[in-house]
Structure 1
Amino acid sequence: MNFTHDSHLKLIPLNIIQDKKHFIVEDPTSGEFYEMPEVCIEAIRLLNEGNSLGEIERELKEKYPTEEVDLLDFAQQLLELQLVTEIDGVKVEAKEKEKLPQGFLRVSPQLGNFFFNKAAYFVYGALFIGNVVLFAANPSLFPTYKDLFIFDYMFLNILAWMLLSFIFVLIHELGHILAMRAFNLPTKLEIGHRLFLVVFETDMGPVWKLPSRNRNVLYLAGLCFDTVILFLALICQLLLSGQSGMFPRVLDVIVLDTFIRIVYQCCIYMKTDLYYVFENVSGCYNLMESAQQVLRKLVPFLNQADKETVIYPEERRTVLIYSVFYLLGVGLTLLLFAFYYIPQLLFAWKKVFPGFSQGVDTLPFWDAAMFSLQIFIVLLLLLFSWQKKYLRRRA
């Protein structure tokens, strides 16, 4: 649709929240959020007052002489975002917006506040320090890759690990859900992936309704619950030190799984919980995309992005600092592969592969078959997650 400087626009009702550097604009119909600088917010205010695009452009150029002001382009962006309802009195036909699901509304905010309040934050912090002290005082508590293997048959080991991991990942996400409900925000649970790992993800989109100072609690909520689980498991390990039996072996798996999950959050070259904390504290959004753009200039073989990310001059220092942590996170992932994932996979295949050479009426054969089936199921879930992400990007 063509605009002229004489055009008048009518916008849908918008919720505008001031952030650290810019403003967050919410489309209450779809639940989508957009970051905009002050000059855009001023343009929206003048549009709502009934001014023409030309009048607004002249006024903004006088008020913001250092900004590049192009109201025709801005109007086109608003139209593409489906934020315009009328142009010169003519209604704009727009596609029906997909309303974000309002999930977990039955979870009481009072329940969320029980787990996330000032006293609880102190407890979580103390337990985190306690975990560090326990590992420093008892290096034998550090998990090894062999802690995963508690049964003689590999398919039972994978089944036990998948079950325990599923339970504790849900507890991690429960932390996010309860924190969201503590602020009376809706959310939902989805399946996603990080690298080759299938993960659950709590939709944190509505956090943009909150002031910046309140968002970190929601981002760190899952790690808070992980900290509690790890501390309890380590204490139980100390109490049962030297004892044999199934329960100590299960504790080994719990410590291994929780320890890796916590370390994994430090790999902020992916959008982990700590990535969003870094982003929120700095007030510099799209950090990952900006850092990748910077790193592509240093590493020519990396693929170029379809669209360049705008890096504001005041954000360059933050982007460079994050780029360092980005590379450190890649190194940390390589260490996880070197010390855990690759040794586990090699150990497992070395143990089960000979089973295929035995008869179908033997347990080793079916152990190898079941183990292969489990790996296949995980790969299917991973492909499903990748496909969903690809379709979302295309949309």
Structure 2
Amino acid sequence: MTVAPARPAVAGGSRVRLHPLQSRRAGDEVIVGRLATGDFAAVPAVGLAVIECLGRGLTVAETRKAVLAETGEDVDVGDFVDGLAALGFVSDVDGVALPGPAPRRPTFPWITQRRAAWSLSPLVPVAMGAVIAAAAVAAAAQPRLIPGYRSLLWSRHGSLVLLVTVGAGWSMVLLHELAHLLAARATGVPARIELGTRLQFLVAQTDMSGIELAPRRHRLTAYLAGMAVNLTTAAAGLLAAAAAGPGSPALRPLEILVLVAVLPLPFQFMVFMRTDVYFVLQDLTGCPDLFGDGRAYARFLVRRALPGRRSRAADPSRGMSAARRRAVRAYGAVLVLGTVLCLGSLASVTAPADLTVLVRAARRTLPGHSVADRLDGLAVLLVLGGAQAVWARTKWRGAKARRRPGAVRDS
């Protein structure tokens, strides 16, 4: 079999061979995709009939006749095959192989589906809920157990505080993402942990493309697994602090553990950045691409607000069902408001504060300061400056991947 440099033409007599595809019905649509590459798309229900006929070895023309007889719909199978090929779902046409994305290498491939199966057991959320409930009772009985921001300011050396907080925070992030990966791997999804950006934030993210095919309980478990681990870790820290008692040398590390586990949770409710709660919301509303549809509607709102463009703006939600239209319009408004507030906070608070800290740290590395002050300033520069450099590189690589022809964009 030869590999063609360009996509061969699809004629009525062409035989099309597809890569192994998985599917799940979602309302009036069908979610179809390749687990090996993480590429998925929502197609009309009749599209599944086309895929099944092609899979039986029928030609394009034979498929069109068979689908017409089965569903009463006359489908342009050639155009449909072109769409499948663009998604990387077509293996070859008339024996000529089509280029496509290579299978992705999963993170921690030794975590097999069998080894991760325990994470979907109903006993897991029961055990987590028991720990969280016990911690809530302990905190209500002893409010002193609840740490405040001063628990993080355990040293007069800002560099030590920063290094410990960043180290503990990113360790918690890895544990959070591992929880997502375990739940996804238990469903057979070859999930990957990678760095990404959400507006001005550098984040770790787990690409769980393919989880859409799992049963709803398993999907929601995978989406909520990270937050559940954060809450359980914080609860365990509170219970350990209660057992240690006042004055224990273990108290401060436990307080730091509780804070680094709890503080990231509000971020997950910023649904305009496709956080964990966003995917729950997308699943419950039945919108396969709530972010994409919401962004299109947000652009429509912005264009409509511009002078002279009101009459030319077309509402992209007009052809949707009533329930989906309401969800998309509400999310589009949240998307605009959240993005504006987030970028406004960056411009007015975060960026000036970071710049001030970096300038002060740089000054402390100059002659005239003690060795301890110089090391302290250098550590701050390395941590904060390094984080900004990683954010910029991750942002640039993401933009480059989106511009590259044929690139696959993670959802």
1:207 pairs with 194, 197, 211, which one?
A: 211
Are residues 249 and 81 of structure 1, via their aligned partners in 2, closer, same or farther at CA, if it must alter by over 3 Å?
A: same
State the match for 1:166 in structure 2.
Answer: 170
State the match for 1:176 in structure 2.
Answer: 180
State the match for 1:258 in structure 2.
Answer: 261
1:15 aligns with 2:21: yes
State the match for 1:39 in structure 2.
Answer: 46
Q: Is the 8 A contact 1:192 1:385 kept in 2?
A: yes
1:84 pairs with 87, 90, 93, which one?
A: 90
State the match for 1:153 in structure 2.
Answer: 157
Superposition pairs of residues 96-107 of structure 1, within 5 angstroms: 97-107=101-111
Q: Is the 8 A contact 1:173 1:202 kept in 2?
A: yes
Secondary structure in structure 2 of the residue aligned to 1:265: helix
Q: CA deviation at 1:96?
A: 5.8
Runs of 5+ unmatched residues, structure 1:
none
State the match for 1:224 in structure 2.
Answer: 228
State the match for 1:375 in structure 2.
Answer: 384
Could you tell me how far apart the structure 2 residues matched to 1:346 and 1:164 are?
A: 24
Q: Is the 8 A contact 1:104 1:187 kept in 2?
A: no
1:291 aligns with 2:294: yes
Secondary structure in structure 1 of the residue aligned to 2:385: helix
Q: CA deviation at 1:341?
A: 6.2
1:123 aligns with 2:127: yes
Superposition pairs of residues 61-80 of structure 1, within 5 angstroms: 69-80=75-86
TM-score (normalizing by structure 1): 0.79
Could you tell me how far apart the structure 1 residues matched to 2:389 and 2:305 are?
A: 27
> 2:199 corresponds to which letter in structure 1?
L
Could you tell me how far apart the structure 2 residues matched to 1:141 and 1:289 are?
A: 43
Q: CA deviation at 1:84?
A: 3.4
Q: Percent identity?
A: 24
Runs of 5+ unmatched residues, structure 2:
1-7, 307-314
Q: Is the 8 A contact 1:290 1:311 kept in 2?
A: no
Cα distance per residue 1:224-273 (max 9 Å; x no partner): 2111111122334556676486x443334333322221111111111212
Number of equivalent positions: 385
Secondary structure in structure 1 of the residue aligned to 2:373: helix
1:384 aligns with 2:393: yes
Q: CA deviation at 1:344?
A: 7.7
Secondary structure in structure 2 of the residue aligned to 1:14: coil
Q: CA deviation at 1:12?
A: 2.0
> 1:384 corresponds to which letter in structure 2?
R
Q: CA RMSD in A?
A: 4.0
1:267 aligns with 2:270: yes
Q: CA deviation at 1:291?
A: 0.9
> 1:295 corresponds to which letter in structure 2?
A
Q: CA deviation at 1:274?
A: 1.7
Are residues 82 and 362 of structure 1, via their aligned partners in 2, closer, same or farther at CA, if it must alter by over 3 Å?
A: closer
Q: CA deviation at 1:365?
A: 3.3
Could you tell me how far apart the structure 2 residues matched to 1:345 and 1:142 are?
A: 28
